[in-house]
Chains A and B, each alone.
Chain A
Amino acid sequence: MKADPKRVLTGNHFINGNHSATEGAIAAGCTFAAGYPITPSTEIVERIAARFPRVGGVFIQMEDEIASSICLQGGAWAGHKSMTVTSGPGFSLMMEHIGLAAITELPCVFINVQRTGPSTGLPTKVGQADMMQARWGSHGDYEVIALAPSSPQDCFDFTIDCFNLAEEYRTPVFLMSDEMVGHMTEKVVIPEADQIDLLERKFYTGPKPYLPYKPEANGIPLMSKAGMGHHYHITGLTHDDRGYPVLTKEVQETMMERLMGKINDNREKLMRVEEYMMEDADIVLVSYGISFRMAYKAMEMAREKGMKVGLLRMITCWPFPESKIREIAQKVNSMIMVELNYGQMYIEMDRFANAYCKTGLVGSPCGEVHEPEEIFAGIQEIAK
């Protein structure tokens, strides 16, 4: 289906990434949001609070991020497209409920406008050091989907993608933004509503009893919501198709195979990358989010110096584009991850590339984006 024109602010705007993400969520049909103030994500909930009553939507500022991240799940079971928004310390507090959303297979969106840690760190400065936390932060095994925007325009587009992916896979989806993208103001083109495709929630309409975790052919069960008369049971305990807790290895295995499989089996479909100047490249930079822009600049510098440098941009960071990394690694001399941390996505890249080529990292303690010169120096060092 198409977006509701009443919810789409069609036109050209000069707005920051946080406001753009808000407009993306509204256009995507998000009608429930819970949040707690935290720099540098707060502009998103501020705009939601102002806009929701005029377009339709409930926003509540909860007592903390623990509450926000589960309040949104109540909203989602009530039948709303739901989200919460946070940054570093708040994201840490949300971890348990990310696991709950994963095991209960609840479509919902978490936006993390990354700052610098550990702990309170540099609240107003950029970082990309929550990437592994997004993947592994809650206890137990689960798969996630995470997209990284590099511009305010991406914030609009990818937030819509996040909501669609959440519905398609019945899973929490992360927009891994950052302080720089969130606070940066650029032109954002919001298309006509009929140019925006939305994926609607698929509800079970068959005969009773409804089995909340009986998968369809694609491995994903149909949803219900409060008041449909299904009398379903939803639990964070290991459960069978009926949703009843069954605390055995066998049921755990069946549940986990499906939970992991619904993402893993669709890795290729979920993979979104962009390739630049790869045809003749023997050195490939890999980057995502705000760092992609600096890496691009560094690639241009290197090309000017006659070095054959290409660039792979990861839009989907999770699941990790491992087949693409393997494919490139077999063709080039070295691959260099450019990111604002001490090497998080680098670990993943290295895992899939080091059998075939040299790997390196241009990392950062966070706080500021890389100087392109710094990345260029890194290229020269690693490619030596």
Chain B
Amino acid sequence: MAEKKGKKKDPKEWRLEIDAERCKGCGFCVEFCPKETLAMSDGFNSKGYHPPVVAAPDTCTYCDMCEMVCPEFAIYATSETHKKDAHLSDEYVRMDRMPHIWCPGCGIGTVVNCLTKALIDAGIDRDKTQIVSGIGCSGRVAGYVNVDSYHTAHGRAIPFATGLALGAPDQKVIVVSGDGDLTAIGGNHFFHAARRNANLTVICINNFIYGMTGGQVAPTTPETAIAITTPYGAFDQPFNIPFIADSCGADYVSRWTTYHVRHLQNSIKAAIQKDGFSVVEAISPCPTLYGRRNKLGDGLDMMKFYKEAAVRMKKAKHTTADAAIGYQNQILIGNFIDRERPSLVKSMDESLKAKIGDKYVGWPEPI
């Protein structure tokens, strides 16, 4: 159960557990702890990273910022009183597959935490949750979440998920994939799923680059940024994902960064509660290929930049058209669109019912 807002947690009832072996030393937990409870240790874990230590336990308010932001599922609060003995994502993540393949300072694991927390908060039955990914670093999410999961073909998570959602309308179908997968090779499917208002939630993890293949330019790479296939700087206009989703007709569109874990979690929760097509863009650091090549520092530096560069959108002032991202420029964040159009399943079903009448046999049961 989520704690009521404003109710202070009793530090005596809680303690922080750190799985030092899972840690890749990104430093997110130490940097973003609001109470400076944590510090980096001097010692190494077996992989040569400095895991955090609880330096000032009395200051901890158990806000779970560290637990959410840690992309490695390596730090978490436990409490006998509150019957919590594992990571908040424990049930939802295949912990037997840890450590995952993502680099130190990558934000994909953070997005997974936001997703699992959102699923728990929304009260979605784990047996009724389907996660579909394409190919790439973000495409590996499906492999780590402990629900029915599908790691499909490059760019094709959305049409696969459309089939799944049409075939099993009682299931909550969520696509988690990267910017290249969803808007380059899979771009056409993205547009059409939004147009149809397919019964899907799409979480697009945007790191501005092709990670798995080694740092090539993406449709989201900001102009002038260096990628391995634009060694002199990107020269074409990137996609503004919220704008595309909005103009194609998505029911729900929001954007946050991996620094904004609570907002991200809340938006994912709102997204999965929509019947139609909902899109959450999560800006996430790729220190290995985007950060390093553009001399933006490590994952932590990129997270700090998100904190500074993020500008909350204001309904009166901004539309999705303003959400374009320039190189190291402001990042407009917030919930852009929340509307109700009939979803694909609903419009198909109702249209057939209206036109065919008694002869319409209804939605088919799976075998």
Contact = CB atoms under 8 A, between A and B. Distances in A.
A31 B142 CA distance: 27
B168 A237 contact: no
Contacts of B352: 53
Given A57-B364, A245-B151, A66 B168 contact: no
Contact of A58 (B148, B153, B170, B364): B364
A342 to B, nearest CB: 31
Contact of B147 (A67, A81, A231): A231
Given A64-B188, A80-B366, A226-B130, A53 B361 contact: yes
B362 A56 contact: yes
A66 B162 CA distance: 13
Interface string B236-254: 0000000000000000000
B327 interface: no
Interface residues of B, number: 47
A226 B164 contact: yes
Contacts of B168: 78-79, 225-227
Contacts of A29: 367
Nearest to A71: B163
A62 interface: yes
B262 interface: no
Contacts of A60: 162-163, 166, 348
Interface string A73-92: 11111111110000000000
Nearest to B166: A58
A74 B142 contact: no
Contact of A74 (B128, B161, B191): B161
Contacts of B150: 74, 77, 233-235
Interface in B143-202: 143, 146-153, 156, 159-168, 170-171, 188-189, 191-192
Nearest to B164: A74
Interface in A210-245: 224-237, 244-245
A77 B359 CA distance: 27
A200 B366 CA distance: 12
A268 interface: no
B148 A78 contact: no
B356 interface: yes
A29 B365 CA distance: 11
Interface string A30-49: 01101000000000000000
Interface string B324-356: 000000000000000000000000100010001
A234 B189 contact: no
Given A74-B160, A231-B126, A97 B153 contact: yes
B363 interface: yes
Nearest to B142: A233
A71 B366 contact: no
B151 A231 contact: no
Contacts of B82: none
B80 interface: no
A71 B361 contact: no
B364 A236 contact: no
Contacts of B365: 31, 56
A70 interface: yes
B140 to A, nearest CB: 8
A201 interface: yes
A68 B162 CA distance: 10
A96 interface: yes
A249 interface: no
Contact of A77 (B164, B188, B348, B360): B164
Given A74-B167, A79-B367, A80-B366, A233 B151 contact: yes
B357 to A, nearest CB: 11
Contact of B171 (A31, A72, A97, A226): A226
Contacts of A237: 151
B143 A235 contact: yes
A74 B367 contact: no
B356 A81 contact: no
Given A32-B166, A64-B188, A234-B149, A56 B361 contact: yes
A31 B163 CA distance: 12
A384 interface: no
A274 to B, nearest CB: 32
A73 B160 contact: yes
Nearest to A34: B163
A55 interface: yes
Contacts of A67: 156, 159, 162, 188-189, 192
A232 B356 CA distance: 38
Interface of A: 29, 31-32, 34, 52-58, 60, 62-64, 66-68, 70-82, 96-97, 100, 200-201, 224-237, 244-245
Given A60-B163, A74-B164, 19 more contacts: A32-B364, A54-B359, A55-B361, A58-B364, A60-B162, A63-B189, A70-B160, A71-B159, A74-B132, A74-B159, A77-B148, A78-B366, A79-B366, A79-B367, A82-B163, A226-B167, A227-B130, A232-B148, A235-B150
Interface of B: 94, 97, 126-128, 130, 132, 135, 142-143, 146-153, 156, 159-168, 170-171, 188-189, 191-192, 348, 352, 356, 359-367
19 contacts: A32-B163, A32-B167, A53-B356, A54-B359, A54-B360, A56-B364, A62-B162, A70-B156, A71-B162, A74-B159, A74-B160, A74-B163, A74-B164, A78-B168, A79-B167, A80-B364, A80-B367, A231-B148, A244-B143
